[in-house]
Amino acid sequence: MILDLCRRFDNELHRPTMRSRALPVSLQIMAALQFFATGSFQLVNADVHYISRSSVSRCVRDVTQCLVNVCNQHIIMPTDAASLEIIKRDFYEIADFPNVVDAVDGTHVRIKSPSVVEHIFVNRKNFHSINVQGVCDSNLKFLNIVSQWPGATHDAFIWSNSTVYELFENRTISDGWLFGDTGYPVRPWLLTPVLNPTTRKQQSYNGAHMRTRNVVERGFGVLKARFRCIDTSAGTLLYSALMCCRIVVAVAVLHNLCIDNRIPLPPDRNDFPDHGHMAGPAYNGPLNDGAIVRERLINGRF
């Protein structure tokens, strides 16, 4: 996989110069990958690779941009019937829940305090962050990633301004359900848990919903286990807010490449909790037109 990245980004990262010895493409990629994987400060990373701290900074910046440039080739939301049927079948094997095509959730990536409009980056747990939305399939692969909103932004707002929302709203994806938590509005195509279930059928529905939707939480957990630079265990991401957003997209691309290349999960972790997950407050907006669809499903199947 690393050799493939070197070949793929050779033209973008190759620096012909007559002034000094340019860093090889392989070294640039290795320096960036070490930062992504460990979140090590640039000084530590520079000491490992025997290059200057400014060189490490340029490596991270350039490799990140290369990965962002190809994100549309590796983070793809399928809309054709054949691909959606495969996804539905894989989701059904989790908890016998039919017709599920995606699961959506959000996570917070801790960043340093921005120098401008600092207050909009402070989330409900009172630290600065980027609120990242992800859509996963049953294999923990990201089909869509939104990394552009400050930490104070509500999950429902990010969702209603996303491309995936438009795909379902305009019926480009007309057959299938998306799963979200109670922070999202229930719609005919977006199913959320029942708040305060009172019947056995509702409890059974909530249990199957939770087990099925758990894939997106595990997806974020695996993403952060592989790339500690965006996990709170590695501290704070010490870049500008814009660069932090790009780094999140870059590691999501690498995460999908790891899945495509069947790279095993970190061996020392049996579980992959998402340390940036915050259970969103219940959505109380006007769009509740999916409640009838959800209730019909509960009564007819559970």
3-state secondary structure at position 108: strand
Structure tokens at 15: 């620096």
Q: Look at the block and give the residue holding tokens 């860093």.
A: 23
Residues of the chain with pLDDT under 50: 270, 284
pLDDT of residue 302: 85
pLDDT of residue 146: 96
Structure tokens at 249: 């997209």
Question: First vs last Cα of the chain: how many Å apart?
Answer: 44
Beta strand ranges found along the chain (DSSP E): 100-110, 129-136, 142-150, 177-179, 190-191
Burial annotation 196-227 (CB, 10 A radius, 16+ → b, else e):
eeeeebbeebbebbeebbbbbbbbbbbbbbbb
Which residues share a beta bridge with 60? none
Torsion of the alpha carbons at 218, 220, 226 and 229, rounded to the nearest 10: -150
Structure tokens at 36: 């992504």
Structure tokens at 129: 């962050």
- Residues 219-244 have pLDDT tens digits of 999 999 999 999 877 678 888 999 99
pLDDT of residue 8: 86
pLDDT of residue 288: 62
pLDDT of residue 267: 63
DSSP for residue 237: B
pLDDT of residue 285: 54
Judge contact between 100 and 212, C-beta under 8 A: yes
CA distance 148 to 39: 20
pLDDT of residue 78: 93
CA distance 70 to 66: 7
The sign one gets for the Cα dihedral 271, 272, 277, 281 is negative
CA distance 28 to 14: 10
User: At 88, which amino acid appears?
Assistant: K
Judge contact between 281 and 184, C-beta under 8 A: no
Q: Is 77 exposed, middle or buried (0-12, 13-18, 19+ CB in 10 A)?
A: middle
Between CA 169 and CA 177, with CA 172 as vertex, the angle to 5 degrees is 65
Between CA 139 and CA 78, with CA 5 as vertex, the angle to 5 degrees is 35
pTM assigned to the model? 0.88
Q: Look at the block and give the residue holding tokens 């500008």.
A: 240
DSSP code string of 175-234 = S-EEE--TTS--BTTEE-PPSS--SHHHHHHHHHHHHHHHHHHHHHHHHHHH-GGGSGGG
